[in-house]
Amino acid sequence: MSKKHIPEIMAPAGDKNAYLAAVAAGADAVYVGLKHFSARMQAQNFSISELTQLASLGRDRGTKTYVAMNTLVKPNDAEAAGRLIDRLQRNVKPYALIVQDLAMLTLAKQAGFTGELHLSTLANLSHPAGLAVAKKLGASRVVVPRELNLDEVKLMADACPKDLDLEIFVHGALCHCVSGRCYWSSYLGGKSGLRGRCVQPCRRLYTRGKEQAERLFSCSDLSLDVLTKPLLSMERVTAWKIEGRKKGPHYVYYTVMAYRMLRDNPQDAQAKKTAVDLLDQALGRPTSHSLFLPQRPFQPIQPKEETSSGRLVGEIKRDQKKLYFEPREQLETGDLIRVGYEDQPGHRTIPIRRRVPKRGRMDIPFSKKHVGPPLPTGTKVFLVDRREPELVKRLRELDGELALFPAPETKESTFTPTWPKAAPRKKTRPESISLFRQPPKGRFWDRPAFWLEKSVLGKTPAKTVSQAQWWLPPVIWPDEDKKYRSLLREATRKGAREFVLNAPWQAAFFEDRKGVTLVAGPFCNLSNRLALDVMRSLGCSSAILNPELPLEDLQAVSQNPPLQLGFVIKGMWPFGISRFLADSVPFDESIKSPMNEVAFVRKYGQNNWIYPGWEIDLTKETRTLERMGFKTFVTMLEPWPRNVPRPNRTSEFNWRLKLL
């Protein structure tokens, strides 16, 4: 293995100490977020001046700095995002930007950014054909989904065009839903995961029928540890990424050290054992290899097991009126413990003020902020961060070196985006479209649309095939690439002429097809004019916007758009799409949250669609949308499960909210 093909170890950093811990551990790269446009807005994140110093220190130590600007760009955000890129270029000089929104690719070019552009896993580039589109749009690296197995990673690596590389997650938290395909938090209250505001509803307790509530959708962490060895033979997999921008320096230091050891000593059994021991000390959730081994996939959801972040170190006991616990291991001054789960009322994080020996006693201090009943006995206590004296000393030394790299006075940017030309306003009548899973029986009044599947195509009359829209799925996995190429050939041979892309990368399927009309679908997560213009450059003539956008954002994006616009106004929009599902979760049955929110799960192909138990209904807003220039109105039809009660309510999604 030549040095050229040694993958870099990428460390997360949500604050200064985590960045310094990554440098101390010898990380090849550190990825960080700013105060805005970061998909981990709960992390502390960085100012431009602070990051300028850290990036200078990193360069001096041979550590690259990558900046994640991987959120959805709302229509009025583009100028601010461009100015931020301009300031980064002039001050921080990051090696790369990690982006989700297509607008960021355009803004980076316009702002003169000279570093690399990496597509975040939130961009959902999940199949080999799409890699060529990423390269065409200016990306130099793609972060592949965490759900891929080893064989699928190889398929992606083998398909990489020249000068395009892959990055793979090797350690850290797993989301239940596919990245870029989760609307759960947004649907329940406007806190969008695509905007870095996810409240993690998948981590909550859920109930099936009369069963006891369990964490039915809460995943263990991913840890590829000793399974990383096969990745060393894949030259296009150039980065191993550790998730965890909300983690502390202890976690960062130990995981970086462990994966460096696994990478640099693939044949050394003792090094592997030491690396695994280091990972055990990193204070993450319980881990699994997830789906990575195709011959031995592991279900990462075990509802009866602990999935909270941190290491379990005790349980609350009561002595008269005092709460206390007896730790299972020694706690050092500066360590952080969390009492209770993150979704448990009264949970809190407490710093250790003085050393507590193993099996000693630590009283839980009274908190004036605590409202409601006291935490019950048996409440779990987790160690979430450590402050080992040696690591603290090393961080202080590095912190002192920052004075050698004074932050320059940052100037405000005067960057202004160049906006795309508006599409001509067509004097056509608005069109209503009904999206079906199967061809309906009897007459239908709206224009039909169907999900593109072989069984549906075979049942649809030839005349209807040519009249209908054909929707590609929101996620296409690597082994499905050939399947959809074949289906598209069959569909066009039968007369299909209009196709809806539900990821920008699906445009690759149509590069040699003439006489077809392409529509950018709602799962492309389009929310601004620059992103719409990129879809226009890929051959789309219209776009159906993501229904999570509120009215104020729809009004803004409808001003001089480069494509004709449509919107989902009614039907079953999913909480999310997942490749995971706990064995105990039934299909087409009611599942209830602590707030009595009903959901059900349905399987289509390799994916599990998680639906809310109530549909979107914005039909009364159709006239408002028409006045704004919208021309296409979609109803997403889904057969209602027999065992799920019909709801008494509908949802306006975020129509009247301000999308966070």
- Cβ proximity of 260 and 9 under 8 Å: yes
Q: Can you tell me the distance from the alpha carbon of 422 to that of 574, in angstroms, rounded to the nearest whole number?
A: 31
State the pLDDT at residue 365.
83
Q: Which residue has the tokens 């160049």?
A: 418
**Exposure pattern of 611-634 as b/e (b: 16+ CB <10 Å)?**
bbbbbbbbeebbeebeebbbbbbb
- Whether 317 and 296 map to the same domain: the answer is no
Quote the Cα angle for 360-383-264, to 5°. Answer: 120
Task: Check whether residue 437 and residue 512 sit in a common domain.
Answer: yes
Answer yes or no: is pLDDT of 193 > 50: yes
- Poorest-confidence range of 36-40, 152-156, 167-171, 476-480? 36-40
356 with 276, same domain? no
* Residue 628 confidence (pLDDT) above 50: yes
Same domain? 88 vs 234: yes
The mean per-residue pLDDT over the stretch 376-386 comes to 91
Residue of 379, 375, 376, 362 lying closest to 327 (CA atoms): 362
Q: Are 544 and 567 in contact (CB under 8 A)?
A: yes
How far is the C-alpha of 210 from the C-alpha of 503, rounded, in Å?
39
Phi/psi at 501 (nearest 5 deg)? Answer: -85, 130
- For residue 370, give the CATH number of its domain: 2.40.30
Query: Does residue 165 belong to any structural domain of this protein?
Result: yes
Residue whose token pair is 């009897």: 442
- What are the tens digits of pLDDT across the range 396-447? 999 999 999 988 777 889 999 999 999 988 788 999 999 999 999 877 789 9
Q: What is the pLDDT of residue 250?
A: 94
What does each C-alpha distance from 403 to 4, 52, 53, 396, 546 come to in angstroms? 33, 12, 8, 12, 46
Question: Residue 44, CB half-sphere, CA atoms under 13 Å: how many?
Answer: 14
Residues 8, 61 within the same domain: yes
Q: How confident is the model at residue 2 (pLDDT cuts 50, 70, 90)?
A: very low
User: Does one domain contain both 266 and 317?
Assistant: no
What's the mean pLDDT when you consider all of the chain?
93
CA distances from 147 to 301, 345, 581, 651, 654 (A): 13, 32, 12, 30, 29
Query: What distance, in Å, lies between the first and last C-alpha atoms of the chain?
Result: 46
Measure the CA angle with vertex 287, ends 338 and 295; round to 5°: 165
pLDDT band with cut points at 50, 70 and 90 for residue 284: confident
Q: Is 70 exceeded by the pLDDT of residue 40? A: no
Domain range spanning residue 65? 3-172+220-300
Whether the predicted pLDDT of 1 surpasses 50: no
Using one digit for the tens of pLDDT, what is the confidence trace for 509-562? 998 878 999 999 999 999 999 999 999 999 999 999 989 999 999 999 999 999
Is 211 a domain residue? no
Span 86-116, pLDDT tens digits:
999 999 999 999 999 999 999 999 999 999 9
Q: Is residue 337 included in any domain, yes or no?
A: yes
231 and 373 housed in the same domain: no
Task: Kindly report, residue by residue over 222-281, the tens digit of the pLDDT.
Answer: 999 999 999 999 999 999 999 999 899 999 999 999 999 999 999 999 999 999 999 988
Which segment of 49-63, 304-318, 524-538, 618-632 scores lowest on mean pLDDT?
A: 304-318
CATH number for the domain including 502? 3.20.20.70
pLDDT-above-90 percentage for the chain: 83
Mapped onto helix, strand or coil, the DSSP state of residue 227 is: helix
| Number of other residues whose CB lies within 10 A of the CB of residue 190 | 19
Same domain, 249 and 272: yes
Say whether both 148 and 40 belong to one domain: yes
Does some domain include residue 86?
yes
**271 and 360 share one domain:** no
CA distance 437 to 433: 13
With respect to residue 604, please indicate whether it lies within any of the assigned structural domains. Answer: no
Question: Is position 524 within any domain?
Answer: yes
Average pLDDT for 46-68 = 95
Within a domain: residue 403? no
By the 8 A CB rule, do 457 and 491 touch?
A: yes
Pick from 134, 30, 337: nearest CA to 21:
30
155 and 54 within one domain = yes
Chain position carrying tokens 């050698």: 404
Count of structural domains within the chain: 3
> What is the C-alpha separation between 544 and 132, in angstroms, rounded?
24
CA–CA distance, 409 with 424 (Å, rounded to integer): 45
Confidence of residue 580 (pLDDT cuts 50, 70, 90): very high
Q: Which of 195-199, 366-370, 517-521 has the lowest mean pLDDT?
A: 366-370
In a domain, 307, yes or no: no
Model pLDDT, residue 369: 63
CB of 181 within 8 A of CB of 474?
A: yes
- Evaluate if residue 376 carries a pLDDT over 90: no
Average pLDDT value for residue range 137-155: 98
292 and 351 fall within a common domain: no
Average pLDDT over residues 434-463: 93
| pLDDT value at residue 5 | 76
Percent of the chain with pLDDT over 70: 97
Catalogue the E-assigned strands of 293-372: 311-315, 317-319, 322-325, 336-339, 348-351, 362-363
Of 246, 270, 300, the residue at which a domain comes to its end is 300
Q: What is the pLDDT of residue 409?
A: 79
Tokens of 93: 């000089």
pLDDT value of position 35: 81
Nearest to 275 by CA among 265, 290, 285: 265
